Amino acid sequence: MSTDLTAAPAAGSGTLRIGDDLTVNRLGYGAMRLTGPGIWGEPADPDEAVRVLRRAVELGVNFIDTADAYGPYTSDRFIKEALHPYADDLVIATKVGLTRPGPDDWRPVGRPEYLRQQAELNLRHLRLEAISLLQLHRIDPAVPLEDQVGELAELRKEGKIRHIGLSEVTVEEVERARAVAPIVSVQNLYNVAERKSEDVLRHAEQQGLAFIPWFPLAMGQLAGPDGPLAKVLTNHDATAPQLALAWLLRHSPALLPIPGTSSVAHLEENVASASIRLSEDDYRTITAAC
């Protein structure tokens, strides 16, 4: 099964190549919010969770980011229910390396046997024959990085995953990982107001890696009437979150934002940002103000 994305709104964001064989629209969807409070258990409206996923694909989103830690496994179950059998061009990325004792509790576990177990469970819960992009959710400081990435490399050799990504890493850690196995993506905290990973982003650009910013809409005071985006809002028929996403798409061709939501209306608002074109003045204003 395949979907025609040529006229879909998300296609307005342009495309990005992940590795040597995956091309996706640059506005993706993060599935973390398809869970209960504390990213734990069931969402308040399970039917809406299914509608959000199906609407995302209808709008041309063909990159969905999830993790076994979301729920745990809650978002994976909804993805399978809503979208399986998957469209040929749909890329589902997931993560391993965190365990969840309870709500808002995230603990890194990078033992090779645990990473393998989680990869196998991801395959089962998502009903995939191979995971297109498996990301190390966090580096476990108690386990050598080389052992953690090495286990993912073994899974890749076995055909259980196609590509390996990293999350919350430094440039030095990216290069250490690349000495063990091919790395195609980095997922760090990054948004218009939080750019501490700018050096990692620029390194990703130089090395041909995708940079997947998590928490891309951490607006805080940016969305307020007196916030730094207020003056730019007067030039656009757009919301502050839409401008924040448009800024990311303009800021670097390596960026693949994955805004998450549990609401179809909010999803449609986010995807509409793909058509916003910031002028040079607006881009510079947002960059300087935030």
- Cα-only R_g, the chain: 18
Annotated active-site residue 70? The verdict is: yes
Which residue, among 188, 104, 196, has the nearest Cα to 139 in the 3D structure? Answer: 188
Question: Which position among 29, 70, 73, 86 bears the catalytic label?
Answer: 70
Distance from C-alpha of 208 to C-alpha of 16, rounded to nearest angstrom: 10
Widest Cα–Cα separation across the chain: 54
Distance from C-alpha of 24 to C-alpha of 5, rounded to nearest angstrom: 10
Region of 14 (left: φ > 0; alpha: ψ -120 to 50; beta: rest) is left
Residue 58 vs residues 10, 11, 51, 267: alpha-carbon distances, Å:
9, 11, 10, 11
The single-letter code of the amino acid at 231 is K
Residue positions annotated with a catalytic role: 70
